[in-house]
Amino acid sequence: MPFIPHTSADVRTMLEAIGVPNIETLFEEIPSALRIGALEGVPSALNELQVLQLMSARAREDGRPLCFIGAGAYDHFIPSAVWSLITRGEFYSAYTPYQAEASQGTLQSIYEFQSMITALTGMAVSNASMYEGATAVAEACLMAVRANRKSKSARILIPRSMHPHYRAVARATTANQGLVLEELPFARASGQTLAETLKSYEGSDITALVIQQPNFFGVLEEVDELTDWAHAQGALVIAAINPTSLALLKPPGQWGAKGADIAIGDGQPLGCPLSSGGPYFGFMTARMEHVRQMPGRIVGRTVDLDGRRGFTLTLQAREQHIRRGKATSNICTNQGLLMMAGTVYMALLGAQGLEHVATACMSRTAELVAALTALPGVRPMFGGAHFHETVLRLDRPVAPILEALAARNIEGGFDLSPYYPEFGPSLLVCATESRTSADISAYALALGDVLKNVRAA
Amino acid sequence: MSNAPADRRYARSHEWVRDLGDGTVEIGISDHAQSSLGDLVFVEVPETGRTLAAGEACAVVESVKAASDIYSPLSGTVVAVNEQLASAPELINQQPYEAGWIFRLRPADGAGVAALLDAKAYLAVADSE
pLDDT at res. B88: 95
Residue A150 is assigned to a structural domain of this protein:
yes
From chain A, pick out residues whose CB is under 8 angstroms from the CB of B66.
317, 322
User: Are A388 and A435 within one domain?
Assistant: yes
CA–chain centroid gap for A215, Å, is 13
User: Are A330 and A373 within one domain?
Assistant: no
What is the secondary structure of chain B as a DSSP string? -----TTSEE-TTSEEEEE-SSS-EEEEE-HHHHHHH-SEEEEEPPPTT-EE-TT-EEEEEEESS-EEEEE-SS-EEEEEE-GGGGT-TTHHHH-TTTTT--EEEEES-SGGGGGSB-HHHHHHHHHT-
Q: Which CATH number do you get for residue A248?
A: 3.40.640.10
Residue B104 is assigned to a structural domain of this protein:
yes
pLDDT at res. A280: 95
User: Are A112 and A257 within one domain?
Assistant: yes
Residue A220 is assigned to a structural domain of this protein:
yes
User: Are A201 and A316 within one domain?
Assistant: yes
Comparing alpha-carbon positions, the chain A residue that sits nearest to B86 is A289
Residue B1 is assigned to a structural domain of this protein:
no
Interface check B49 vs A, CB under 8 A? no
The answer to whether the Cβ–Cβ distance between B65 and A322 falls below 8 Å is: yes
User: Are A335 and A355 within one domain?
Assistant: no
User: Are A182 and A281 within one domain?
Assistant: yes
User: Are A314 and A376 within one domain?
Assistant: no
Residue A60 is assigned to a structural domain of this protein:
no
User: Are A88 and A203 within one domain?
Assistant: yes
Residue B78 is assigned to a structural domain of this protein:
yes
User: Are A173 and A99 within one domain?
Assistant: yes
User: Are A439 and A300 within one domain?
Assistant: no
Residue B102 is assigned to a structural domain of this protein:
yes
The answer to whether the Cβ–Cβ distance between B42 and A317 falls below 8 Å is: yes
Interface test with A, best of B37, B48, B51, B62 (most A CBs within 10 A): B62
Rounded to two decimals, the pTM is: 0.88
Domains: count for chain B: 1
Q: Where is the domain boundary, A328, A344, A360?
A: A344
Report the C-alpha gap between A389 and A216 in whole angstroms: 9
pLDDT at res. B1: 56
Residue B95 is assigned to a structural domain of this protein:
yes
Residue A61 is assigned to a structural domain of this protein:
no
For chain B, list residues with pLDDT below 50. none
pLDDT at res. B129: 80
From chain B, pick out residues whose CB is under 8 angstroms from the CB of A318.
67
Domains: count for chain A: 3
Q: How close is the nearest chain B Cα to the Cα of A322, in Å?
A: 6
Domain that holds residue B40: 9-127
- Among the partner-chain residues A149, A316, A318, the one whose CB lies closest to the CB of B47 is A149
Residue A1 is assigned to a structural domain of this protein:
no
Domain that holds residue A47: 8-55
Torsion of CA A69, A73, A79, A82, to 10 degrees: -160
User: Are A257 and A355 within one domain?
Assistant: no
Comparing alpha-carbon positions, the chain B residue that sits nearest to A316 is B65
Residue A203 is assigned to a structural domain of this protein:
yes
Interface test with A, best of B37, B40, B41, B42 (most A CBs within 10 A): B42
**Per-residue confidence in pLDDT tens, chain A, 457 aa:** 567 788 999 999 999 999 999 999 999 999 988 988 888 888 889 999 999 999 999 988 888 899 999 999 999 999 999 999 999 988 887 776 677 888 898 899 999 999 999 999 999 999 999 999 999 999 999 999 999 989 999 999 999 999 999 999 999 999 999 999 999 999 999 999 998 889 999 999 999 999 999 999 999 999 999 999 999 999 999 999 999 999 999 999 999 999 999 999 999 999 999 987 889 999 999 999 999 899 999 999 999 999 999 999 888 877 877 777 778 777 766 688 999 999 999 999 999 999 999 999 999 999 999 999 999 999 999 988 999 999 999 999 999 999 999 999 999 999 999 999 999 999 999 999 999 999 999 999 999 999 998 765 4
User: Are A270 and A194 within one domain?
Assistant: yes
Residue B22 is assigned to a structural domain of this protein:
yes
The complex scores an ipTM of: 0.76
Residue A423 is assigned to a structural domain of this protein:
yes
Q: Which CATH number do you get for residue B45?
A: 2.40.50.100
Q: Which CATH number do you get for residue A393?
A: 3.90.1150.10
The answer to whether the Cβ–Cβ distance between A317 and B47 falls below 8 Å is: no
Q: Where is the domain boundary, A287, A311, A344?
A: A344
